[in-house]
Amino acid sequence: MSASAPPPPRSRGPRPYALELHEQVPAQLDETVLACVRHGRALPPPADARCIDVPLALLQGPGCEIWRSATPVRQNREGRIAYAENGEVLLGHVHLPEAALADLSAASESLYRELQGFLRRSGYGACLRIWNYLADITKGQGDAERYRQFVLGRYHALAQQDGFERELPAATAIGLQDGGLLIYFLAAREGGTQIENPRQLSAFQYPRQYGPKSPSFSRANYLAWSDGAQLLVSGTASVVGHETAHAAQAQRQLDEILINLEALLAEADRRAARTHVWQPTLIKLYLREAAHLSAASARLDAWLPPQVPRMILLGEVCRSDLELEIEGIFGVGL
C-alpha cells in the first residue's frame, strides 16, 4: 500500500441496484432484473439471457440471487458477453466451454482483453466486482497449474493499462465441478475505492513462488452510495501475509478467515475516515469438502446475526492447501 494517505471514498448517487435471495428461481424475470444468478447442479436450461448458472453443489441456503435494478434495464449481447444495464451499472457474463481452454493462458488473456474493450466502449469502464469459476482449478504441476495459467493470461490483458493495480475489482476464483470457464461481473461508470487488508500482502504483490505473475484483484471495493456505504468483499481465505495459515485444517482456517474479514472492515473504516456499523447482507462460503459443512455452518451461526443470508457451496479453492473461502457483501447507512 502507498505510504501517502489516499483520499477518502467520494460519495456517489443512490445505489442503483439491490440484491435479493430466493429459494426458487422466479418463473419469469421482469424488466427490473439485471441478473439472476442460479447456483446448483443439474439446473434446468435458462429461459432468459440474464440467467447466470454457477454449477456448484448448493449445500445450504438460498440458491438464487436476483440483482434488481431501481429502474427498467436494457439487455443485449456483444461478442461473447451477454449483459443488462440500467444507465448506472451493468451486469454481464460469459462462459467458455472446456474446448476453448486448450491454451488456458491465451484464452484467459483473450477473454479479459475482450472484457476490457467492451467495458470501455459501453461507458461502464469501472469493473467493481468479478467472479471467475474455472474447472479443475488446481490441476497441473508448478506453473502449468490451471489457476496459474488463468492468472497469467488475465495479467497480460490488464497490464496493458498503466497503473492497473490501483483500480482492481474485488474478485473470486473458485473451481467448477463442470468444464469450462465462467465469468460474471458488475461494472459502473465510476470506480469504487480499492481496499487492501493490512494482515495480508496485496495479491498483486505476491512473490514468484505463486506463479509467473501475481493475481490481479483487490481485497474489497468500497462504494459510498448516498443512501449507504457498501463493501464488496473478495474471496477471503486463511492467508496471512502471502502464506497459507493452518494448511488443511478447516476449522482453524475458518477462524483465520473471520479475523481477516474483521481486519478488512476496520481498514475500510480507516480509509473512509469514519466508523461504520457494518452489517453483512450476504455471506457466501465455499467448501472444498462437504464433510466440513456441519462444523463450518455452526461457526458461521456463532459469528453472524441469525437474519443474515448465507449460502454454502461445494467449490475448490485456488490453493490446494486451502479448505474454504468466504466472500461477502457488507452494508451500512451513511
The CA-atom distances, in angstroms, between 196 and each of 5, 146, 206, 266 are 13, 26, 13, 11
196, 323, 325, 327: the active-site residue: 325
Is 323 catalytic? The answer is no
Average pLDDT over residues 51-62: 98
pLDDT score, position 178: 86
pLDDT score, position 334: 54
How far apart are alpha carbons 255 and 260 in whole angstroms?
9
Q: Are 129 and 169 in contact (CB under 8 A)?
A: yes
Burial (CB count <10 Å: 0-12, 13-18, 19+), residue 14: exposed
Q: Are 65 and 20 in contact (CB under 8 A)?
A: yes
| pLDDT at 6 > cutoff 90 | no
pLDDT score, position 7: 65
Assigned C-alpha cell, 169: 475489482
- Give the three-state DSSP class for 101: helix
* Domain residue ranges in the chain: 17-332
Architecture of domain 17-332: 2-Layer Sandwich (3.30)
pLDDT score, position 12: 87
Mutual angle of helices 293-303 and 250-272, in 10-degree steps? 30
Question: 98-112: per-residue pLDDT in tens?
Answer: 999 999 999 999 999
| pLDDT at 5 > cutoff 50 | yes
Which pTM does this prediction carry? 0.96
The CA-atom distances, in angstroms, between 54 and each of 35, 43, 63, 108 are 13, 9, 10, 18
| DSSP type of residue 241 | B
| pLDDT at 1 > cutoff 50 | no
Q: Are 133 and 181 in contact (CB under 8 A)?
A: yes
Q: Are 235 and 325 in contact (CB under 8 A)?
A: yes
First and final CA of the chain: distance in angstroms?
26
pLDDT score, position 67: 99
Band of residue 9 on the pLDDT scale cut at 50, 70, 90: confident
Question: 262-311: per-residue pLDDT in tens?
Answer: 999 999 999 999 999 999 999 999 999 999 999 999 999 999 999 999 99
Nearest to 312 by CA among 291, 332, 330, 333: 291
| Positive or negative: CA dihedral 254, 255, 260, 262 | positive
Band of residue 3 on the pLDDT scale cut at 50, 70, 90: very low
pLDDT score, position 232: 99
Question: 131-167: per-residue pLDDT in tens?
Answer: 999 999 999 999 999 999 999 999 999 999 999 999 9
Amino acid letter, residue 222: Y
Give the containing element (helix H, strand E) for 170.
strand 170-176
Band of residue 242 on the pLDDT scale cut at 50, 70, 90: very high
